[in-house]
Structure 1
Amino acid sequence: MRLQIELYRFRLLSLIIILVLGAQLVASFGHANRFFPFMWYPMYATAHFDGERINIEHRIYAVTPNGDRQYIDPSRDLKIDFWRYERRFARPLRDRKLDRIRPILEMVVERYPTFTELQVEDYPLIITRNGPRKAQRQVIAAISRAEVEEALK
């Protein structure tokens, strides 16, 4: 009798473990960071060498008809944190994958109704033997209002 109870407990515990592992497996498929935390650790990042330019941040500006550039602040304008801003808005915008960022584009259009262009500007560092140093910023992508309107259709 005692052996049967122990066998029953062993099977029940094994079933619970299998269910938890199965749920984690199912949850990991279909997401951008599905292998998190393994792939995003800095120790898995690619090596960088002397003189190499590294983009550490992107800033997005809404350009008005008179040429003024208004910084789109992630926390104030979009209500998102830096990493969501960088990974889910700035990079897809830079790569012109506007279909992926429709909800955020709608917020930008609502906040800046008269913008004519969105500019993605990088904030790079240059790796040197004496440590990183700031490099000159540059506009790396410019998305017109027409492109944004087309993506929102």
Structure 2
Amino acid sequence: MGSIGPSSLRKETRNPLASGVSREFNGFSAQGKPISDGQSAKGLGKHDEAIHSLELPKQKECSVTEPNYEAIGRYTHLVGELDSLSMKRRSLFTRIVGVLKNANENPLESKVPRKCNFEAVRDLLDEAEEIEKAIRSTVDQVNELAPLADKSAIS
């Protein structure tokens, strides 16, 4: 049997880089420089050797998609349009209430009830109905754009 001395231990634990074995770190040196096919990792410093001996898990490929700016712009515009339409509808409802309230008031001087302007109420209701249709249509458009714009749908 042979003796186990320091020289035999050294032989068994030699660094593979010192013997000319080419090692790559995902195709790059520790300095971040690409290692070409004909190039080896020989001659790297001790720190680089330690890095090359590490095995890292494979990274998943990230697919970062760019935001759909057109959809975001259209979504934002339509949400602003909804605010405008809601304000118009609210204004019409206030006017309808005003006409009806005026007709409902009891005159102090006369025993004859006030006349109600039903034609004005009908016209205002028709206009409010058209705005309601526009609101519903706009809500549908916003909800179609929401996933493309990475925004939340509205109800």
TM-score (norm 2): 0.20
- Say which one has the larger Rg: 2
Structure with more strand by fraction: 1
Work out which structure has the larger RCO, using CA pairs closer than 8 Å and 6 or more positions apart in sequence: 1
Q: TM-score, normalised by structure 1?
A: 0.20
